């Protein structure tokens, strides 16, 4: 029986590292590596390596990418449930500079074929989970179906609204108990659903009371955890559902780290947060502190899925 069910994308990542990211028309010499990725898979690995029994629903092609997904899921004890697609397994081209900053292009392939009917056919898998976690690299109907099942059975539903270029519809937002945007995603969601415009790089300097008011407009019924990179995270609860916390809004500093590659830090954070919530009954702030520690550790190793540490919450 899974503690966490993740519904989302699997990609084969192709990673090029060079001193400076190439500009338009420029060619640079760097190094190449390849490995597994995709926000769904990264978060499933993080959840599993944070000690939660984890199932992962996705769509795969009939190719070496699919074989890689199966082998890696097996190695981490993840129950992989895949819909077969006639398209190639998803891919991502990732460029990383000497400071660990990245630029990414995704070829979604099979991920775009994940159907709500397939998700519904896996009702039993989702209905057993304590936490259902989705992102936005898969079709809206499919991830909406997953959160709807989570709601139906009383699981905690989590939406990591990434990537930012995918519009998040109001139905999906309404089904999320917990939302984990980064600054850019938060700003985009506020513009579309919160009736406010704020520059992404202004989020980190906005005072807590203002951020809290923005979060309440965005997700009146649920908890918002805005991740702020090296500046940590901001948490906002509805006043009648504090999830064991003493206060409705607070900041959690980043855990000290010496980052080599921050790719996937957000995935590490969401996966670890889901794992912790599924395993321990404790104030929400403790779950967030664990997610911050887990994400910080993930930045100290290169790669996305492969950089997820094996680190369980204290007490789990
Ligand atoms: P990505 O898109 O690269 O996966 P993201 O933008 O979704 O990342 P961030 O807000 O950058 O997510 O990071 C998520 C969390 O990871 C932060 O809230 C913080 O706890 C941790 N983190 C990120 N960068 C650092 C860092 N340099 N040092 C320590 N912790 C970090």
Among the listed residues 171, 201, 267, 281, the single catalytic one is: 267
pLDDT digits (tens, 9 = 90+) for 190-209: 999 988 999 999 999 999 99
What's the pLDDT at 158? 98
Instruction: Kindly compute the dihedral angle of the four CA atoms of residues 123, 128, 129, 133, in this order, to the nearest 10 degrees.
Output: 0
Q: Is 163 in the pocket of ligand 1 (CB under 6 A)?
A: no
Question: Which residue's CA is the nearest one to ligand 1's atom 28?
Answer: 230
Q: Is 227 in the pocket of ligand 1 (CB under 6 A)?
A: yes
What's the pLDDT at 100? 76
**199 or 306: whose pLDDT is higher?**
199
% of the chain residues with pLDDT over 90: 87
What's the pLDDT at 179? 98
pLDDT digits (tens, 9 = 90+) for 78-133: 999 999 999 999 999 989 899 878 888 989 999 999 999 999 999 999 999 999 99
Q: What is the best residue among 262, 272, 285, 297 to mutate for testing ligand 1's pocket, by most ligand atoms within 8 Å of CB? A: 262
What's the pLDDT at 299? 94
What's the pLDDT at 304? 79
Closest-lying ligand 1 atom to the alpha carbon of residue 233? 18
State mean pLDDT over 297-304.
88
Question: Which residue's CA is the nearest one to ligand 1's atom 17?
Answer: 229
Tell me, yes or no, if 267 is annotated catalytic.
yes
DSSP-assigned states of every residue in 59-100 = EE-SSHHHHHHHHHHHHTT-EEEEEE-SSPPEEEEEEE-TTS
For residue 225, report the distance from its CA to the centre of ligand 1, in Å: 12
DSSP-assigned states of every residue in 181-195 = -BHHHHHHHIIIIIS
Closest-lying ligand 1 atom to the alpha carbon of residue 183? 10
Question: Which residue's CA is the nearest one to ligand 1's atom 30?
Answer: 296
Closest-lying ligand 1 atom to the alpha carbon of residue 296? 30
Checking if the pLDDT of 48 tops 80, the result is yes
Q: Is 264 in the pocket of ligand 1 (CB under 6 A)?
A: yes
pTM here?
0.95
Checking if the pLDDT of 37 tops 80, the result is yes
What's the pLDDT at 1? 62
Q: How confident is the model at residue 167 (pLDDT cuts 50, 70, 90)?
A: confident
Q: Is 299 in the pocket of ligand 1 (CB under 6 A)?
A: yes
Residues at the binding site for substrate are 11-13, 38-42, 137, 267
| Assigned CATH topology for domain 4-304 | 3.40.1190
59-63, 112-116, 242-246, 301-305 — which is least confidently predicted?
A: 301-305
Q: Is 236 in the pocket of ligand 1 (CB under 6 A)?
A: no
pLDDT, mean over the chain: 95
Q: Where are the domains of the chain?
A: 4-304
What's the pLDDT at 312? 86
Checking if the pLDDT of 160 tops 80, the result is yes
Q: How confident is the model at residue 216 (pLDDT cuts 50, 70, 90)?
A: very high
């Amino acid at each position: 029986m899974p503690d966490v069910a993740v519904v989302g994308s699997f990609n084969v990542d192709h990673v090029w590292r060079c001193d400076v990211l190439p500009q338009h028309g420029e060619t640079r010499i760097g190094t190449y590596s390849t490995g597994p990725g995709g926000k769904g898979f990264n978060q499933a690995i993080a959840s599993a390596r944070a000690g939660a029994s984890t199932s992962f629903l996705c769509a795969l092609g009939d190719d070496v990418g699919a074989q890689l997904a199966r082998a890696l899921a097996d190695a981490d004890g993840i129950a992989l449930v895949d819909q077969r697609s006639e398209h190639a397994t998803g891919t991502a081209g990732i460029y990383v500079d000497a400071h660990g900053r990245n630029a990414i292009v995704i070829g979604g392939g099979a991920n775009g074929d994940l159907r709500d009917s397939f998700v519904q056919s896996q009702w039993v898998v989702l209905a057993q989970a304590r936490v259902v976690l989705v992102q936005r690299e898969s079709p809206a109907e499919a991830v909406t179906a997953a959160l709807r099942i989570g709601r139906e059975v009383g699981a905690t539903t989590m939406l990591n609204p990434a990537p930012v270029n995918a519009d998040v519809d109001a139905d999906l937002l309404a089904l999320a108990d917990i939302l984990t945007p980064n600054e850019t995603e938060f700003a985009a969601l506020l513009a579309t659903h919160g009736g406010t415009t704020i520059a992404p790089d202004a989020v980190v300097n906005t005072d807590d009371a203002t951020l809290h008011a923005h979060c309440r407009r965005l997700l009146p019924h649920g908890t918002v955890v805005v991740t702020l990179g090296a500046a940590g995270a901001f948490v906002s609860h509805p006043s009648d559902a504090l999830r064991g916390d003493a206060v409705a809004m607070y900041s959690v500093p980043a855990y000290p780290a010496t980052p080599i590659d921050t790719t996937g830090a957000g995935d590490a954070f969401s996966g670890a947060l889901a794992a912790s919530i599924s395993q321990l009954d404790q104030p929400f702030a403790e779950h967030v502190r664990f997610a911050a520690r887990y994400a910080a550790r993930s930045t100290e190793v290169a790669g996305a899925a492969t950089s997820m540490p094996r680190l369980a919450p204290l007490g789990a």
